[in-house]
Amino acid sequence: MAQRKAAMAAAAFFALLAVASLLCAPAAAELVRLEHPAKNDGSLSLLVVGDWGRKGTYNQSRVAQQMGKVGEQLNIDFVISTGDNFYENGLTGTDDQAFEQSFTDIYTAKSLQKPWYLVLGNHDYRGDALAQLSPVLKKIDSRFICMKSFIVNAEIVNFFFVDTTPFQLKYWTHPKDDHYDWRGVAPREKYINNLLKDLDEAMKKSTAAWKIAVGHHTMRSVSDHGDTKELLQLLLPVLQANGVDFYINGHDHCLEHISSRDSPIQYFTSGGGSRAWRGFFQPNENKLKFFYDGQGFMSLQLYQDQAEFTFYDADGNILYQYSQWSLRETYLRNSYVAKE
């Protein structure tokens, strides 16, 4: 009994040290690099879903079921979540049962028992944001791989996962009744500048056939939230300077594809993982290729010289398909220069 108490006390002490180190850490965003092998033929298949964590309600379970079927058909390698993983206010801690109720117990299909690479959304930041980054959750469900910003190298493609919530100024200046967990992020300007520098450096080093950025917030959108001006001002120049092919996001609870008027970057929103049908549509000057206001998800199949996107609804019906050949050597811009 005494040994057990001593062990528990030691564990608690080191847990406090870990939390203290996070709280006192400089607001830099060093990018972790994860390796994920492609298939034997060099190709890659994956699913993308966002804005889903509602304990199966609002058709979350229905979307999950269809994801399982498509995942099996495509023999997917992994799943990407574009954030807002747990509603309404993230997790309360690593012992929050919502983790299993909204994730483990919902995405049960055999084909979905692959790694899930996740970013945080604004709703995740309203709870204990650090809980989703904790290795404790990975022990509960080994699929769950969530970080603020990181890289997944899958041979033919580099995915650059970007923590977009801190970019939105209104969350800092006008949070209303919401509380945002800015531990490890504040001060905002330093955090963002460090993140942009790290992204620029990592993207410059990338030799992959495809470069894809993933964030929660929209860069371009015709739905409720529309374009995110902070991302257009701060993040987009980095993506353009480094020849990023696609930006994939959630935040707006819809499925959409937008082709920008000012760069070759294609924008894909996959935020239909649960609650949707907002009935909001605001066309802008960008070229809208596809828009669906309901629930669903997206698949992406990548080859050395071709990318194939497909949107599905909650019944598994194919809504839209888009294919693009690699433009890698065609549209490289001038180098991005970070603020000092």
For residue 235, is it within any domain?
yes
Q: Which domain holds residue 288?
A: 32-338
Residue 89, annotated as binding a ligand: no
Alpha-carbon gap, residue 167 to 102, rounded angstroms = 27
Count of domains for the chain: 1
For residue 2, is it within any domain?
no
For residue 22, is it within any domain?
no
225 is catalytic: yes
For residue 80, is it within any domain?
yes
- Cβ atoms of residues 335 and 294 within 8 Å: no
For residue 228, is it within any domain?
yes
For residue 4, is it within any domain?
no
Residue 51, annotated as binding a ligand: yes
Residue 87, annotated as binding a ligand: yes
For residue 317, is it within any domain?
yes
**Which residue of the set 36, 217, 225, 257 is catalytic?**
225
Of 218, 309, 228, 211, the closest CA to residue 264 belongs to: 211
pLDDT at 278: 86
Residue 177, annotated as binding a ligand: no
Please report, in angstroms and rounded to a whole number, the separation of the first and last CA atoms in the chain: 56
What are the φ/ψ torsions at residue 265 (nearest 5 degrees)?
-65, 135
Q: What is the pLDDT along the chain (340 residues), one digit of tens a residue?
A: 443 344 334 334 334 433 433 333 434 447 999 999 999 999 999 999 999 999 999 999 999 999 999 999 999 999 999 999 999 999 999 999 999 999 999 999 999 999 999 999 999 999 999 999 999 999 999 999 999 999 999 999 999 999 999 999 999 999 999 999 999 999 999 999 999 999 999 999 999 999 999 999 999 999 999 999 999 999 999 999 999 999 999 999 999 999 988 789 999 999 999 999 988 898 888 899 999 999 999 999 999 999 999 999 999 999 999 999 987 644 444 444 444 4
Please list, residue by residue across 263-292, b when 16 or more beta carbons sit within 10 angstroms of its beta carbon and e when fewer do: bbbbbbbbbbbbbbeeeeeeeeebeeebbb
**What CATH number has the domain bearing residue 90?**
3.60.21.10
Judged on CB neighbours under 10 Å (0-12, 13-18, 19+), 308 is middle
